[in-house]
Amino acid sequence: MKSVYCFGNGKADGSAKDKNLLGGKGANLAEMTRLGIPVPPGFTITTEVCTHYMKHQSYPDGIENEVNTAIEFVENIMDQKFGDMDNPLLMSVRSGARTSMPGMMETVLNLGLTSKTIPGLIDKSGNERFVYDAYRRLIMMYSDVVMEKAGGAEPKEGEGIREQLEEIMEDMKKNRGVSLDTDLTASDLKELSELFKNRVKETLGKEFPDDHYEQLWGGISSVFSSWNGKRAKNYRRIENIPDVWGTAVNVQVMVFGNMGENCATGVAFTRNPATGENLFYGEWLKDAQGEDVVAGTRTPNPLTNSTKEDGSALVSLEDDMPEIYLELDGIQKRLENHYRDMQDIEFTVQDGRLWMLQTRNGKRNGMAAIRMAVEMLNEKLISKEEAILRVRPEQLDEIMHPMIDPASEKSAELLAKGLPAGPGGGTGQIVFTADVAEQWKSDGKKVILVRNETSPEDVHGMHAAEAILTAKGGMTSHAALVARGWGKCCIVGCSALEINARNKTLTINGQVFNEGDIISLNGTSGKVYNGALSLIDPDLDSNTYFTSLMKIADSVRKLNVRTNADSPADAAQARSFGAEGIGLCRTEHMFFDPARIMAMREMIVAENEEARRTAIMKLLPYQREDFYGILKAMAPFPVTIRLLDPPLHEFLPQNDGQITELASELKIEKDSLKKRIDSLHELNPMLGHRGCRLGVAYPEITEMQARAVFEATVKLIKEGEKPFPEVMVPLVGSVTELAHQKKLIIKIANDVQAESGIKFDYLVGTMIELPRACFTADEIAEEAEFFSFGTNDLTQTTFGFSRDDIGGFLPQYLQDKILEGDPFQSIDQKGVGSAVKMGVDKGRLTKHDLKIGVCGEHGGDPNSIDFFHRIGLNYVSCSPFRVPIARLSAAQATLNN
Amino acid sequence: MKSVYCFGNGKADGSAKDKNLLGGKGANLAEMTRLGIPVPPGFTITTEVCTHYMKHQSYPDGIENEVNTAIEFVENIMDQKFGDMDNPLLMSVRSGARTSMPGMMETVLNLGLTSKTIPGLIDKSGNERFVYDAYRRLIMMYSDVVMEKAGGAEPKEGEGIREQLEEIMEDMKKNRGVSLDTDLTASDLKELSELFKNRVKETLGKEFPDDHYEQLWGGISSVFSSWNGKRAKNYRRIENIPDVWGTAVNVQVMVFGNMGENCATGVAFTRNPATGENLFYGEWLKDAQGEDVVAGTRTPNPLTNSTKEDGSALVSLEDDMPEIYLELDGIQKRLENHYRDMQDIEFTVQDGRLWMLQTRNGKRNGMAAIRMAVEMLNEKLISKEEAILRVRPEQLDEIMHPMIDPASEKSAELLAKGLPAGPGGGTGQIVFTADVAEQWKSDGKKVILVRNETSPEDVHGMHAAEAILTAKGGMTSHAALVARGWGKCCIVGCSALEINARNKTLTINGQVFNEGDIISLNGTSGKVYNGALSLIDPDLDSNTYFTSLMKIADSVRKLNVRTNADSPADAAQARSFGAEGIGLCRTEHMFFDPARIMAMREMIVAENEEARRTAIMKLLPYQREDFYGILKAMAPFPVTIRLLDPPLHEFLPQNDGQITELASELKIEKDSLKKRIDSLHELNPMLGHRGCRLGVAYPEITEMQARAVFEATVKLIKEGEKPFPEVMVPLVGSVTELAHQKKLIIKIANDVQAESGIKFDYLVGTMIELPRACFTADEIAEEAEFFSFGTNDLTQTTFGFSRDDIGGFLPQYLQDKILEGDPFQSIDQKGVGSAVKMGVDKGRLTKHDLKIGVCGEHGGDPNSIDFFHRIGLNYVSCSPFRVPIARLSAAQATLNN
């Protein structure tokens, strides 16, 4: 087992194909080196070593020899020696997992600075200040990351070694009467280094190591340990990254962007990651280290003139270092062509020489992903299939999220303007910490997280917030990167904000806002407003990139996509999103209308069939009207109408006052009403008298609903429409139930056809949502003209999980990895999925061309859609706003299988 | 298709093998005829004709010719002619389904008496009175059964044609000043016949038919129609007889037991149906028709001297007609040997000649079935396998039912004595109608149905009653037959009873009892007592027939039989019934003990793990004690202990007073206790935070329970016992849950072994009670050392039926045949059974010798046991009293498959 892979000087042991072994960063460093692009030489310790280290808390045998050989390889290229007195080499250590986990793991720079090497480096560089600045940085970083965190210490807030050292530095600046770090002199920094080392020993009980090897191995171990740090674990849980992957460690020669005026550092994207526009886009800082750009402590300059804001005083790299810029521009074009995707790159200029530190496929928001996919296809950079696979279905959700209503924006009070880091709109209550954000969100509130800058520690709060607003940082700051990854509205670098997190106040131009006050953000323009602005749905029709992508997806997918809609408006909206029918029209919501619920209640308390029939028939005109509108909105696409499903007690009042009132309205004794309500009470209503069990007990309900459907159908046919109703019997567990209900429905259909003299087409089918229905699907298919899987209920019964009650244990189940995910979000393929597959196979055994769909929440979930494609469903049905996601997912499912 | 099968004079078209086609009665008439036994000649119209008639309301083509040919066949044998003026033949029409449905369908006798044939018959018989008595009986029966009931009329109580005619007859007796029917003269009866015919025309609007063919076809049709009568349908529902079977119709020459002193009629059993004793046993009446014996209107004489009660004045057939008796005794012996089973026979003596009217396998109660099976095996009449199959497993239930405690009987107030028609004891409240019996039973009361005599209309009330008591009737009366079929305590012919059903009073020797008063019956001795007597369990050990049968069954069965027991006493009892281990020991009941529940509640309201652990560990000594006793009672058999299963809210009080009290006992704020209780409330607790989900959330519960089990095990081993605990994790849906719990359990086992220095064997397995567990049983088997199917919960989730809530719709489902049976009583083989089978197959795919059992209620149900045998389970586990039933069922399953 080879544990160490070298790269440098045009040669590399690995390549871009080795991501699993070398991590994304390591594989791409090797690939760039192979392409002849200037990369600081180094080597990558594999993810297998991480796995070994995690399991055994030790390294595989022989790794030290491999590392020593690799160091020699680098020394030869650089003509320097690690730990050498005269010509010392410094090293950096960086993490790099298969998939990027920005900021979640540790980095240690400047390794190799010791009492032995410092004099030589001062000689060699002629810059004592730079050397001691690097040294004090090393001590700060190393004591924090390697000595304290990797050692497992969890110091109290504000008492960590890093904070202590920062305090010492602040004290020195105060003593020297200076305000900037850069105002400290070489001797200041030298003294500071000594103070730092003393404090490290005092606090952590150990000397800061003065041996270059010890430093290097400390750095390597701390990176491996950080794979199992709290932040990284949380991130993996949210992003569904397996724990077993592990991280690689990249050890590279240090290059410095902070050695003077002919030095610089920067990050860039080969296209705009927020809009997708095909323009080289990035930020840089002169005489700085990479972390200065990302941390948002200084506002960086634009790379190119074309992306510079009008009138900005900031100097572009294009103007400041034109030759370097030309070289960089050539490299970025080469990288994008080579990788055939937008690249996110990091570079450093040391002494006028350009070094590439990283390239990777760049994260992008939904809008940008769509535009890039379509434009790259048009540029013939990628194929149709690749274009479809380039957009994550969830990214479509972003562009379908509400935007600030321009009308309400006009009259709104503009408070400030920042950088538009995540498009879309958001409105909510101000909170100042991630914990409060999460808490308030779980209390049902909408919050906007307001911070000076964000750090990986804030990720859970950022996730919980509607939108994120920071005072500092640029378009590539932590807040911006994370928000964009989630398609969340985000504004960064909004310098007008004065945040006092302790007092929980936000002051903007003297106006004070408290925690809980409401503001609104337009993440597309970067504008911050006072109060709640109304949000509107985006106009997808005029988004030609979106419509192009959908068209391509539609040409590929095999699954039809329907929608779940209970009203003509929802039906029309879904149709505009491309729905090809309604897969689930719930009829019970229609009964809750105040004008109707009384008839429903009369029906429920009726003492005999006749009284029940009289009451229920009062609902006929309403239901006919409902179905008329929905069938019309969707014609000629099919509309699957589910018969009454919920238990009757849901329609009755529960508190005493309401019961008294209802009794008097219904003109019955309160006691007898109470008795009826009591008699309907159930211990487990989910498993009680509902679904087709109602239709069996009260056939008149089925008859009324069937009549309403068919009379609406006849009316539409008379008007020249082509409605196509599919009547769906819910919660069938035995074919006998379906047969019982089907007989009633067919009888009514025949009656309505005879009465009207108009023939119409319709289907009678069933919802498959109980395990028994899956086990006996062959029998049920004898009666059913279609199946529609109700995977919500099927998940409840297959797992024995009440969706209403899993809050008591699901969070722990997810945390302890007892479940890999929430089975109500993405279908549990092993268990519930097996039940569905069995139902499909058995159903088709009886009727080989049986039409089968799914109408639970899973119908809009990409992973679930992939599964439904594989087991041969005909369609999925989802909420209107998920329809485009389902269309794209269905296309991807075709390509992936 | 041949529709009519003849028999007579030693020849028959059919035989005993043709039960499906000819019904039991018809097949046996053919068989007896073939054996040369004297049977009145006749013919059987097949069950296929019934099915055709039910479907089309008409007869198949050509049937009239077949019937006519058959009549000629009979006429030739008898040398008489149907409808002939001089030498007329009379016919009877009787039903006969595959399986006996006593009294549930119609019979019409004396067909062929018309104005044309009456004079000839008077001439021929020389007995005018007999002829007119037969005629008035024909009119009564025919007008009731054929003209009124089969016509679909439903007259009000007391207004039926039969009641009207009876009233006319009573009036005539009053006018003539006589009290007995037999006191009416020939001319009285002739006049009565005319009065009857007039009333029939008046009431039913039709003439009583004076044509012999019309009479015959009317009779045949009425029998076919009665297959779908209310009584027959109810009976089929209770007895699970398919509607599609249909009945045959037997048309036979009339023979009369009521033509004078050398005539008689009787019914008999080849062995005693109540005790099983091998003694010819029956009852007879001189000068009577068969219905007189069965109806209980006259108390019949014993057949043999050996069965005559000491000092009885009743004359036996053996003494009265010794030659007839000898012939009959020969026939009964031949029949039993031929059929190799106890026979229930009917005979008539006409003019000193014996005719056999019926033979069939006799119904018997459990005690008798067991004794007969064992004795017939000893007599080498049947094989071991047949002996096992002779006893219906449910019949064992009878002999395990409580008996009146002899001690309490001694001091009890004896009210009366009747015939001991159904053994065992019963105590309950007096009711006088079947409807009230059913109503009170459903209200949770225990009732004793008290009637003058019972009729098929009373069947539902008899079913609901604890015991049945009648004033009239003999050991073969309707009440006695039905009660014995169900193994129900029953006393008949208790002439001391004066029943006034209208006033709802029962008077015994002047003492008046009202509806609701409590009495007790000893069905084994026939004694009726005042008040409630205590009941005791029967002593099975001294029942050598029972122990023999069990031994034979054990030698055949493949399935092991365990018991569900939660206490040492239950465990010991079950072991005495033959249990080979405990398949389910529930641990939660142990927590409800007042001394323990407080610790449980402390645990539930604890704010952190430490407090929770402190509270739960208080339960350790109790639990250790529990397990010690149970493991000891069962050692060396295995004991499967299920970890805590129910949701925690079951352990907390719900009403305000109790909450206040508990808060003060626990020394916490009432509000915070209330909040905790609210937080535990669930909408669907069946699908909520319970089972292993508790053990995952609160590992300390699992740890405490495992420690209690293992410490008890160690203690027993120290005492020289060989305990074998199997720890069962409930409600597992994912292998990860089991792995989580198993790790904790093994850790504790290792700890206890290390602490005590004693090694012990144990298993860790899981309950399979969720569909997902079945679907992923291959994965779960990686961790499980055994599976135990919890088919109660599996039925709930597979069907989506809450067992607590199905009362709302199950009755209708059963009535409408949407379900064939209650799936909680007998496993639903198609659905739930498929899930179990899948679980077994998948589990064994991973571990081919995985031990698998079932521990739901189904473990004691014979049909379910047959299924579990077929799919290869290792054992079933049931409640202690079902253990013998399970042993026998398991043996039968081996033989039947």
The most confident of the ranges A51-60, A519-528, B748-757 is B748-757
pLDDT in tens, A713-748: 999 999 999 999 999 999 999 999 999 999 999 999
Chain B positions touching A832 (Cβ under 8 A) are 772
Q: Any CB–CB contact under 8 A between B812 and chain A?
A: yes
Asked if residue B352 lies in contact with residue B324, where contact means CB atoms within 8 angstroms, the answer is yes
Q: Tell if the CB–CB gap between A793 and B770 is shorter than 8 Å.
A: no
Q: Which of B680, B805, B818 sits opposite A688 (nearest CB)?
A: B805
Min CA distance, B56 vs chain A (Å)?
21
Average of per-residue pLDDT across A286-303: 79
Q: Which of A697, A769, A818 sits opposite B736 (nearest CB)?
A: A818
Q: Which of A734, A800, A817 sits opposite B819 (nearest CB)?
A: A734
B712 vs B477, which has greater pLDDT? B712
| Beta-sheet strand order (sheet of A4-8) | A11-12, A4-8, A42-45, A247-253, A91-97, A107-111
pLDDT at A487: 63
Chain B positions touching A776 (Cβ under 8 A) are 830-831, 834
Supply φ then ψ for residue A836, to 5 degrees. -65, -45
Q: How high is the mean pLDDT of chain B?
A: 92
Catalytic position from the list A50, A490, A494, A855 = A855
Average of per-residue pLDDT across A196-204: 95
H helix or E strand, kind and range, residue A8: strand A4-8
Confidence bin at A543 (pLDDT 50/70/90) = confident
pLDDT in tens, B100-134: 887 788 899 999 999 999 999 999 888 999 999 99
Q: Is 90 exceeded by the pLDDT of residue B793?
A: yes
Residue of B nearest to A797 (CA): B797
Asked if residue A757 lies in contact with residue A779, where contact means CB atoms within 8 angstroms, the answer is no
Average of per-residue pLDDT across B837-850: 97
Q: Any CB–CB contact under 8 A between B737 and chain A?
A: yes
Interface of A with B in 824-843 (CB under 8 A): 828, 830-832, 834-835
Is B855 noted as a catalytic residue in this protein?
yes
pLDDT at A291: 75
Q: Tell if the CB–CB gap between B686 and A689 is shorter than 8 Å.
A: no
pLDDT at B130: 92
pLDDT at A484: 67
Q: Tell if the CB–CB gap between B685 and A685 is shorter than 8 Å.
A: no
Catalytic position from the list A401, A478, A858, A869 = A478
Whole-number Å distance between alpha carbons of A70 and A43: 6
Min CA distance, A844 vs chain B (Å)?
18
A211 vs B675, which has greater pLDDT? A211
pLDDT at A137: 93
Q: Which of B800, B816, B817 sits opposite A687 (nearest CB)?
A: B800
Report, in angstroms and rounded to the nearest whole number, the Rg of chain B calculated over CA atoms.
33
Q: What share of chain B has pLDDT > 90, as a percent?
A: 71
B424 vs A518, which has greater pLDDT? A518
pLDDT at A486: 65
Q: Any CB–CB contact under 8 A between A871 and chain B?
A: no
Q: What angle do CA B794, B797, B801 make, to 5 degrees?
A: 110
Q: Any CB–CB contact under 8 A between A783 and chain B?
A: no
Confidence bin at A616 (pLDDT 50/70/90) = very high
Q: Tell if the CB–CB gap between A816 and B696 is shorter than 8 Å.
A: yes
Asked if residue A639 lies in contact with residue A716, where contact means CB atoms within 8 angstroms, the answer is no
Is B478 noted as a catalytic residue in this protein?
yes
* Cis before B653? omega within 30: no
The most confident of the ranges A163-177, A474-488, B232-246, B726-740 is B726-740
**How many A-B residue pairs are in contact by the CB < 8 A criterion?**
179
H helix or E strand, kind and range, residue B171: helix B161-176
Min CA distance, B819 vs chain A (Å)?
8
Q: Which of A731, A770, A818 sits opposite B696 (nearest CB)?
A: A818
Neighbours of B288 (CB within 10 A): 20
pLDDT in tens, B626-654: 999 999 999 999 999 999 999 998 888 87
Give pairs for B695-698: CB < 8 Å, separation 24+: B695/B643, B695/B644, B695/B729, B695/B740, B695/B741, B695/B744, B696/A809, B696/A812, B696/A813, B696/A816, B696/A818, B696/B737, B696/B740, B696/B741, B697/A808, B697/A809, B697/A812, B698/B603, B698/B612, B698/B616
pLDDT at A465: 94
Interface predicted TM-score (ipTM) of this complex, two decimals? 0.79
Min CA distance, B148 vs chain A (Å)?
29
3-state DSSP of A21-64 = HHHHHHHHHHHHHHCCCCCCCEEEECHHHHHHHHHHCCCCCCHH
pLDDT in tens, A343-402: 999 999 999 999 999 999 998 888 899 999 999 999 999 999 999 999 999 888 778 777
Confidence bin at B88 (pLDDT 50/70/90) = very high
Q: Tell if the CB–CB gap between A688 and B812 is shorter than 8 Å.
A: no
How would DSSP label each residue in A775-796? Answer: HTHHHHHHH-SEEEE-HHHHHH
Q: Which of B686, B733, B736 sits opposite A687 (nearest CB)?
A: B686
Q: Most A CBs within 10 Å: which of B684, B774, B812, B824, as the mutation test of the A interface? A: B684
Q: Any CB–CB contact under 8 A between B213 and chain A?
A: no
Chain B positions touching A828 (Cβ under 8 A) are 772
Q: Tell if the CB–CB gap between A805 and B731 is shorter than 8 Å.
A: no
pLDDT in tens, B349-402: 999 999 999 999 998 888 899 999 999 999 999 999 999 999 999 888 778 767
pLDDT at A297: 66
Whole-number Å distance between alpha carbons of A894 and B57: 58
Q: Any CB–CB contact under 8 A between A350 and chain B?
A: no
pLDDT at A485: 56
Alpha helix locations (H) across B535-619? Answer: 544-556, 568-576, 594-605, 609-617
* Cis before A823? omega within 30: no
Whole-number Å distance between alpha carbons of A286 and A16: 30
Chain B positions touching A736 (Cβ under 8 A) are 817-819
Q: Tell if the CB–CB gap between A830 and B796 is shorter than 8 Å.
A: no
Min CA distance, A766 vs chain B (Å)?
15
Give bridge partners of residue A350 from the DSSP assignment: A353
Q: Which of B687, B734, B813 sits opposite A796 (nearest CB)?
A: B687
**CB-side exposure of B330: number of CA atoms within 13 Å?**
11
Chain B positions touching A793 (Cβ under 8 A) are 800
pLDDT in tens, B285-303: 998 887 777 666 677 899 9
pLDDT at A240: 78
